[in-house]
A = this chain, B = another copy of it.
Amino acid sequence: MRMAGRAIELGAAGVLALALATAQAQQNPAAEAARAWRTAHERAILAEFMGLLAIPNLARDGPNIRRNAAAVEGLLERRGVKTRVLEVPGAPPVVFGAIDTPGAARTLVFYAHYDGQPLDPKEWTTPPWQPAVREGRIYARSASDDKAPIMAIGAALDGLRAAGIAPRSNIRFVFEGEEEAGSPHLASILEKYKDLLGGDVWLICDGPVHQSRRQQIVFGARGITTLDITLYGPRHELHSGHYGNWAPNPAMMLARLLASMKDGEGRVTIAHFYDGIEPLSATERQAIAEAPDVDGGLMRELWLGATEGGGQKLVELLNLPSLNVRGMSSARTGAQASNVVPGTATASIDIRLVKGIDHDAEAARVIEHIRKQGYFVVATEPDAATRMAHARVAKVVVEAGGYDAARTSMDLPISQVVLRTAESARGPVVKLPTMGGSVPLYMIEKILGAPTITVPIANHDNNQHSFDENLRIENLWDGIELLAALLAM
């Protein structure tokens, strides 16, 4: 258990901000009602949450993903929400819910996703779908990303109902089942159910709060495209003594190719990689400047002796596209290593995009870079003739389901309403033009014309996307209050 019980070192200013936030939570009646309910029902809330977390939720695991959808639907129905399952062929169902408010002036759409990232169970301290509580955290796949807001919404609805507080807006829930697979069918679902899914704002319940543990409201998300690069050495592994400095080594070739993509400070050296970035507005630049400086504390928390980016802060760097080697493999290491020239070497790369950069164009720039390093690039397994005809062959597979970044202006009236509501419930919030992670906001804006604003509740140190994913229970409690305030907005 690597992270449990570790809190970021905040310094005096951070502690003050948290104290302030707690005091100010009393100013919002919906948040107060939610807190009263939660305090009296903590065990029941956790029990219901752990039941939800116990259902394996990989998007590609059809039967289990449908069990999740049914559980999420049940969670809403138990709170009197009218539900409907939205389907397109080949996709996990979207669970839709609606609370209609007669005379409502606006419609708020709450988005979350119930599927989780792929995983290797062997890496987990406790099994990923057997939720376990240790030192104030719940450990399970999707404990934070992204079943936490679904549970928080359920408890918030209970709290509001118990206090007799009815929503003033029309409320819609859209809970997706393949976000971690890149939301390949979201566009067609949005198109098909356009009339059902529109609203004045989509509130994206995903991602972590600020590293200072302050509430954060985020006005955009980076886009993403993912590609796998495989390079080829000999047809099969060879004895490294007999062929060791004659047969080309694909692991070394991959090292050279990857090294050509970034400089020593982490800046991407692929031609045109940073072209077209939409500049930040004055409000956005100011919000970034006002964001708490957490870099030093994060470095200590993460045991880092250095960071990339030539001295820029994390909060600034998120406004640039990134190129990340998310995995690399060739033959074997450790006890399984043997003295071979490997037959192939593979790197999996994810590229995060910011507003103004098209995801297909960015992937094409990477492929063009690989060509410039002397590789003959193919999209499928190269045959013997292809491999013999070229000194260097690279298979590059761009994963389907990439999408562009999105960013909503902080100056819109709805942006101001959301900010005021959140601050009344949770005290001064950190405002950011974009989160570092990716959610398909771009499609929502494009198809429905609705702006998106992200209202995260998970702790930042949640091991999201990795093993031992967890949610601080305190973050669940805080999230219930935030979501109650937004539901009553």
Instruction: Report which A residues bind B (CB closer than 8 A).
Output: 2-3, 117-120, 207-208, 222, 224, 226, 228, 232-249, 251-252, 254-262, 264, 266, 295, 299-309, 314, 317-318, 320-342, 345-348, 350, 352, 384, 387-393, 435-438, 460, 463-468
Contact status A325-B342, CB under 8 Å: yes
Contact status A324-B437, CB under 8 Å: no
28 A-B pairs with CB atoms under 8 Å apart are: A234-B304, A235-B304, A241-B352, A241-B436, A241-B438, A242-B436, A244-B352, A245-B308, A245-B320, A246-B295, A246-B307, A246-B317, A247-B307, A249-B308, A249-B324, A251-B325, A251-B328, A254-B328, A303-B384, A303-B387, A304-B387, A324-B339, A327-B333, A327-B338, A328-B330, A328-B345, A332-B348, A339-B350
* B residues near A307, Cβ cutoff 8 Å: 246-248
A338 to B463, CA, bound (A): 12
Contact status B326-A465, CB under 8 Å: no
Counting every copy of the chain, the complex holds 2
* B residues near A393, Cβ cutoff 8 Å: 305
A336 to B435, CA, bound (A): 25
* B residues near A262, Cβ cutoff 8 Å: 252, 256
Q: A249-B324, A255-B258, A338-B466 are in contact. List 15 more A-B contacts (CB 8 A).
A: A2-B236, A239-B464, A240-B352, A245-B320, A245-B322, A251-B327, A254-B255, A255-B325, A304-B387, A305-B390, A306-B392, A326-B331, A326-B338, A327-B336, A329-B334
Contact status B466-A340, CB under 8 Å: yes
A363 to B342, CA, bound (A): 21
CB distance from A359 to the nearest CB of B (A): 14
Contact status of A324 and B237, CB under 8 A, knowing A334-B348, A348-B337: no
A384 to B236, CA, bound (A): 40
CB distance from A330 to the nearest CB of B (A): 4
Contact status A329-B333, CB under 8 Å: yes
Contact status B249-A255, CB under 8 Å: no
* B residues near A460, Cβ cutoff 8 Å: 242
A262 to B254, CA, bound (A): 12
Contact status of A304 and B337, CB under 8 A, knowing A325-B330, A342-B327, A352-B240: no
Contact status B256-A435, CB under 8 Å: no
Contact status of A304 and B117, CB under 8 A, knowing A330-B327, A352-B244, A436-B243: no
A233 to B259, CA, bound (A): 16
* B residues near A338, Cβ cutoff 8 Å: 117-119, 326-327, 465-466
Contact status B348-A326, CB under 8 Å: no
Contact status A309-B346, CB under 8 Å: no
